[in-house]
Amino acid sequence: MARPWPAGLALSALLGQSRAQLEAWAVDQGLPAFRGRQLHDWLYAKGARRWHDITVLPAALRDQEPAPLGRSAELHRSVARDGTTKLLLATDDGLSLETVGIPTRDRLTVCVSSQVGCPMACRFCATGKEGLQRSLQAHEIVDQVLTVREVMDRRPSHVVFMGMGEPLLNSENVLAAIDCLSRDLGMAMRQITVSTVGVPNTLPRLAELALERLGRCQFTLAVSLHAPDQDLREELIPTARAYPYEQLLEDCRHYLELSGRRVSFEYILLGGLNDSPRQAEALAEKVRGFQSHVNLIPYNPIEEEAFQRPAPGQVEAFAATLKRRGVAVSVRASRGLDQDAACGQLRRQRQDRVQG
């Protein structure tokens, strides 16, 4: 049975709709219900981009194109030596967004955007330099995963909402996309991660909405801390002024209670700024006794800021300090560094070329 999504989530494209919704749409068009099942198969299993691709449908219906399918056009592609593939995709209203395919031998992770631009203005993020243009609809998020699958000719195993935008400012569409990825593309919800820098009064609500809309809350929540104290966090993330550190952690605990899922903490390491052993000790004190995991991310430089990438020894020492204090920790391997890996850079470069 189709899930009852709020009225504010207009179904403006067929992509993102369930099998039952597509069957109902077909019947509304005066077609047999099985045409909806065919559409579902061609949208999700075969990745149809145009009505004329769906050869099982009558030619008259394909010529009519009765509704947008919801697929994007590729504007630019950048492939790094390690295979990391960054795509710039066009939206129907003339905007652009980034998505990235990150391959390893055993998995393909798709880093998806949830908004065009971002209002959070994090100093180390290229996307935040431009502000927010709009939130993405569910089909525009799902399309990113299908496009990476098509370009890289490989089935994605993981999806991370770590691209452009703040997912918790678009939680309804993010959850609708997660529902579609799980239900229609067959992805395990535990292989999906939602990353946030923290928006007041949204974390517990996210768990409640997931339980209400999806019937479960099995995706991973990743909360970006990036500093061991409130003062430095506000310097790096201006919106943190409205969200005290202790309140953020308390909301994380509430989320854990509601969802039963541990929280992952993201910490971007900036050379000489937040990567000292003393700061590692302070971070360990903050998350001590928390059912959590800390993911350390060495900084990818952007032109607008003078932040430095940390030395490998500093990264190792920071991780070792956390481990010694009993904190579960991992270091994210840097990918695509030869192709401007930081989020938002590809989009900004294209805009600069157009304006120039």
Q: Are strands 263-269 and 158-161 parallel, antiparallel or unpaired?
A: unpaired
- 180 in active site: no
Give the H/E segment covering residue 237. Answer: none
Contact 192, 158 (CB under 8 A): yes
The residues facing 89 across adjacent strands are 74, 97
- What sign does the CA torsion over 319, 111, 192, 243 have? positive
Helix (H, G, I), strand (E, B) or coil at 245: helix
CB neighbours of residue 7 within 10 Å: 6
Look at residues 162, 195, 165, 159 and name the one whose alpha carbon lies nearest to residue 177: 159
List C-alpha distances in Å: 3 to 21, 169, 182: 9, 21, 13
Q: Name the catalytic one among 111, 125, 180, 343.
A: 343
Q: Name the catalytic one among 23, 65, 98, 305.
A: 98
- 98 in active site: yes
User: What is the residue type of 71?
Assistant: R
Look at residues 202, 195, 130, 126 and name the one whose alpha carbon lies nearest to residue 167: 195
The residues facing 293 across adjacent strands are 264
Residues involved in catalysis: 98, 343
